[in-house]
Amino acid sequence: MDMKPGMSETLKQIEEKHAALGQDAGSYLKGFLYSKPLAYWDYVQLETLLSLQRPRTDYPDEPIFIMYHQVTELLLKLIIHELQQVVDLECPHPAFFSTKIERVNRYAGILTQSFAVMREGMDYDQYNEFRLTLAPASGLQSMQFRVIEIMCTDIVHLLNHRVKGKLDESAGMDKLFEELYWKDAGLDRKTGKKTQTLQLFEEKYETGFKKLAGEMKENNLLKKFLTIESKSEDYEKLKSALRAFDHTYNVEWPLSHLKTAEHYLNSKGVMKGATGGSEWQKYLHPSYQRRIFFPQLWTKEELENWGKF
Report the CATH number at residue 131: 1.20.58
Contacts of 73 (CB under 8 A, 6+ apart): 142, 144
Contacts of 19 (CB under 8 A, 6+ apart): 25
Please state the separation of Cα 70 from the chain's center in Å. 12
Q: Can you give the pLDDT at residue 200?
A: 96
Backbone angles phi, psi at 271, to 5 degrees: -95, 120
Alpha-carbon gap, residue 236 to 243, rounded angstroms: 10
Backbone angles phi, psi at 159, to 5 degrees: -80, 160
Alpha-carbon gap, residue 93 to 81, rounded angstroms: 17
Q: Can you give the pLDDT at residue 6?
A: 72
Task: Please state, as a whole number, how many other Cβ atoms lie within 10 Å of the Cβ of residue 84.
Answer: 12
Tens of pLDDT, residue by residue over 224-258, are 999 999 888 899 999 999 999 999 999 999 999 88
| Residue 51 is assigned to a structural domain of this protein | no
| Residue 66 is assigned to a structural domain of this protein | yes
Determine if the pTM surpasses 0.85.
yes
Identify the burial level of 217 via C-beta atoms within 10 angstroms of its C-beta, where 0-12 means exposed, 13-18 middle and 19 or more buried: middle
User: Got the DSSP string for 193-259?
Assistant: PBPHHHHHHHHHHHHHHHHHHHHHTTTSHHHHHHTS-TTSTTHHHHHHHHHHHHHIIIIIHHHHHHH
Q: Can you give the pLDDT at residue 10?
A: 85
Residue 103 sits at the vertex; the CA angle it makes with 101 and 107, to the nearest 5 degrees, is: 110
Q: Tell me the residue ranges of DSSP E strands in the chain.
A: 266-267, 270-271
Calculate the alpha carbon distances from 194 to 66, 74, 230, 284, 291 in Å: 26, 29, 45, 19, 22
Domain total for the chain? 1
| Residue 119 is assigned to a structural domain of this protein | yes
| Residue 16 is assigned to a structural domain of this protein | no
Calculate the alpha carbon distances from 291 to 77, 120, 164 in Å: 20, 27, 10
Identify the burial level of 173 via C-beta atoms within 10 angstroms of its C-beta, where 0-12 means exposed, 13-18 middle and 19 or more buried: middle
| Residue 148 is assigned to a structural domain of this protein | yes
Q: How many residues does the chain have?
A: 309
3-state secondary structure of 180: strand
| Residue 76 is assigned to a structural domain of this protein | yes
Instruction: Fill in the DSSP letter of residue 159.
Output: B
Q: Can you give the pLDDT at residue 221?
A: 98
| Residue 153 is assigned to a structural domain of this protein | yes
Q: Can you give the pLDDT at residue 258?
A: 87
Closest CA to 180 of 225, 210, 222: 210
CB contact at 8 A, 306 and 292:
yes
Q: Can you give the pLDDT at residue 289?
A: 84
Q: Can you give the pLDDT at residue 51?
A: 98
Residue numbers in the chain where pLDDT is lower than 70: 1-3, 267-283, 309
Which residue range forms the structural domain that includes residue 261? 59-304
| Residue 37 is assigned to a structural domain of this protein | no
Q: How would you label 18-48 residue by residue, b for 16+ Cβ within 10 Å and e otherwise?
A: beeeeeebeeeeeeeeeeeeeeeeeeeeeee
CB contact at 8 A, 106 and 246:
no
